[in-house]
């Protein structure tokens, strides 16, 4: 048993220049872990509550840290997270803030792994975790809530399904990103960037489909393995009074479903995240029914990494994939429970960053430790490559 001795919280900057919560956790056996909370821009309405960083720190110092220090075994992640939940006392971490909760949860996991002297992915997943290395989904063109005057669809994602290794997949996404710059420049289109490092050019969605299709096909030919692409439509951001509002069009729900089905067929999309509103479980099921054999329909704002919402989606057949963002739910235990519930029901997990990120690499370990098939963590930019480079290190040692 290795008890937590000290927890220190501080404010640090995230990639948007906003303050976020960083936690340091130390243990009786000299173990140490540090982790920082990410932050979303296109947040789901059912996510756990993020408080202002200073307020979250003050409240966690008062209400949670006294119940953890000298009390909880850092090697027992379920016990750490149960203590956090009990100290908060709400279902959505509105007392201490999901940003304080997730930073402490992740830092404690690292301290637990350090105490035992094993890598975090091994601590989380154990010896028989499986041997999948996740395919990285790389955001290469984006707009929506992540960039002004760009595409309505939030993310166009390179999906290197044929890559023989993580290393080749990571390099393929970087190559697609670079090639898109060449294509944009050749047409004199400005190469602004959005919050996640994707190009955010002032083009419409139809043009972005063509450019990403061109770039992924060209790079696939160059590298000799299949690279498809996918989308995060973040459709709750487009949804107004029962319709989906684009710059150049307004679609009814039925038209939105037809549009997504058409794009899946026309471009062979490998992945479509949040194609419909975050409360439309039944309409999601209609779309999933039409395309489940061809693509992954992934719930981000729909499920918010919450097993109760995932259970509703399983019962209704709403999706065949779930996005996992630990800060949406507040603890690693809850995130891993959602991954496991998904796996038991043929729902594929995609472990994900947020648009506001830090150098923290926990999600790379969560993806490997849980044998997740995919990770979504950008393509370029230091806070994105931190996770990708950690995956390369893990691939080298696992």
**Residue 195 touching Mg ion (CB under 5 A):** no
Tell me, what DSSP letter sits at residue 356? Answer: B
**Residue 337 touching Mg ion (CB under 5 A):** no
For residue 243, what are the β-bridge partners?
Answer: 240
From 47, 278, 300, 383, residue interacting with Mg ion (rule: CB under 5 A): 300
- What x/- string results for residues 260 through 299 when contact with Mg ion is judged by CB under 5 A? -------------x--------------------------
- d(C-alpha 334, C-alpha 130), whole Å: 21
- d(C-alpha 288, C-alpha 294), whole Å: 10
Residues 6+ apart with CB under 8 A from 104: 7, 9, 23, 25, 60, 64, 68, 80, 84
Least distance in angstroms from the C-beta of 376 to ligand PEP: 7
Q: Which is nearer to Mg ion, 77 or 288 (CB)?
A: 288
**Residue 355 touching ligand PEP (CB under 6 A):** yes
Least distance in angstroms from the C-beta of 146 to ligand PEP: 6
**199 and 192 Cβ atoms separated by less than 8 Å:** yes
In angstroms, the first-to-last Cα distance of the chain is 26
Dihedral angle sign, alpha carbons of residues 138, 140, 145, 146: positive
What is the token pair recorded at 154? 């939030």
**Residue 300 touching ligand PEP (CB under 6 A):** yes
- d(C-alpha 260, C-alpha 233), whole Å: 10
DSSP sequence for 180-243: HHHHHHHTT----B-TTS-B--S--HHHHHHHHHHHHHHHHHHHTS--EEEEE--GGGTEETTE
Answer with the entry of Mg ion, ligand PEP, none that 107 interacts with (C-beta below 5 to 8 A by kind).
Answer: none
Range 68-87, binding ligand PEP (CB under 6 A):
none
Q: How many residues bind Mg ion (CB under 5 A)?
A: 3
**Residue 175 touching ligand PEP (CB under 6 A):** no
**Residue 43 touching ligand PEP (CB under 6 A):** yes
Range 106-145, binding ligand PEP (CB under 6 A):
145
Answer with the entry of ligand PEP, Mg ion, none that 352 interacts with (C-beta below 5 to 8 A by kind).
Answer: ligand PEP
Q: Which residues of 215-226 are buried (b: 16+ CB within 10 A; e: fewer)?
A: bbebbbeebebb
Residue 270 annotated in active site: no
Which residue in the list 95, 110, 278, 325 is annotated as catalytic? 325
**3 and 28 Cβ atoms separated by less than 8 Å:** yes
Order of strands across the sheet that contains 239-240? 239-240, 243-246, 249-251
**Residue 329 touching ligand PEP (CB under 6 A):** no
From 195, 232, 261, 360, residue interacting with Mg ion (rule: CB under 5 A): 232
From 232, 278, 334, 337, residue interacting with ligand PEP (rule: CB under 6 A): 232
Residue nearest Mg ion (C-beta atom): 300
Helix axes 362-369, 382-397, angle to 10 degrees: 40
- d(C-alpha 352, C-alpha 120), whole Å: 17
Which residue in the list 50, 196, 261, 383 is annotated as catalytic? 196
Ligand-binding annotation for 273, yes or no, is yes
What is the token pair recorded at 60? 């966690």
Q: How many CA atoms lie within 13 A of 191 on its CB side?
A: 14
Residue 196 annotated in active site: yes
Least distance in angstroms from the C-beta of 62 to ligand PEP: 28
Q: Which range of residues in 18-26, 313-321, 335-343, 348-356 is near ligand PEP by CB under 6 A?
A: 348-356
Annotated binding site: 146, 154-155, 232, 273, 300, 325, 352-355, 376
Q: Which residues bind Mg ion (CB under 5 A)?
A: 232, 273, 300
Annotated binding site for Mg(2+): 232, 273, 300
Q: Which residues bind ligand PEP (CB under 6 A)?
A: 40-43, 145, 232, 234, 300, 352, 354-355
Catalytic residues: 196, 325
Annotated binding site for substrate: 146, 155, 273, 300, 352-355, 376
């Amino acid at each position: 048993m290795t008890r937590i001795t000290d927890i220190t919280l501080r404010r640090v900057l995230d990639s948007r220049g906003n303050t976020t919560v960083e936690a340091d956790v130390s243990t009786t056996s000299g173990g140490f872990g540090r982790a920082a909370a990410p932050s979303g821009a296109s947040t789901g309405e059912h996510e756990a509550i993020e408080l202002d960083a200073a307020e979250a720190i003050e409240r966690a110092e008062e209400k949670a840290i006294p119940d953890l220090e000298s009390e909880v075994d850092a090697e027992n992640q379920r016990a750490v997270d149960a203590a956090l939940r009990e100290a908060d006392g709400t279902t959505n971490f509105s007392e201490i803030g999901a940003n304080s909760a997730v930073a402490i949860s992740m830092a404690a996991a690292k301290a637990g792994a350090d105490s035992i002297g094993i890598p975090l992915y091994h601590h989380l997943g154990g010896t028989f975790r499986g041997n999948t290395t996740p395919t990285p989904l790389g955001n290469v063109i984006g707009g929506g809530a992540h960039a002004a005057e760009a595409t309505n669809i939030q993310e166009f994602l390179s999906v290197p399904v044929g890559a023989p290794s993580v290393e080749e997949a990571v390099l393929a996404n970087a190559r697609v990103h670079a090639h898109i710059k060449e294509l944009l420049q050749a047409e004199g289109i400005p190469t602004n960037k959005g919050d996640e490092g994707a190009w955010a050019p002032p083009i419409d969605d139809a043009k972005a489909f063509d450019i990403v299709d061109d770039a992924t096909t060209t790079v696939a030919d160059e590298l000799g393995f299949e690279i498809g692409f996918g989308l995060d439509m973040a459709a709750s951001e487009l949804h107004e009074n029962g319709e989906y509002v684009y710059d150049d069009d307004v679609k009814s729900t039925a038209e939105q479903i037809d549009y997504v089905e058409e794009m899946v067929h026309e471009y062979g999309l490998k992945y479509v995240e949040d194609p419909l509103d975050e409360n439309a479980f039944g309409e999601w099921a209609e779309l999933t029914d039409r395309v489940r054999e061809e693509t992954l329909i992934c719930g981000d704002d729909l499920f918010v990494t919450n097993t109760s919402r995932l259970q509703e989606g399983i019962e209704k057949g709403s999706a065949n994939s779930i996005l996992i963002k630990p800060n949406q739910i507040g603890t690693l235990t809850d995130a891993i429970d959602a991954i496991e519930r998904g796996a038991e029901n043929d729902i594929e997990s995609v472990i994900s960053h947020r648009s506001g990120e830090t150098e923290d690499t926990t999600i790379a370990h969560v993806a490997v430790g849980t044998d997740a098939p995919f990770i979504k963590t950008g393509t370029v930019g230091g806070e994105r490559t931190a996770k990708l480079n950690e995956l390369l290190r893990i691939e080298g040692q696992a």
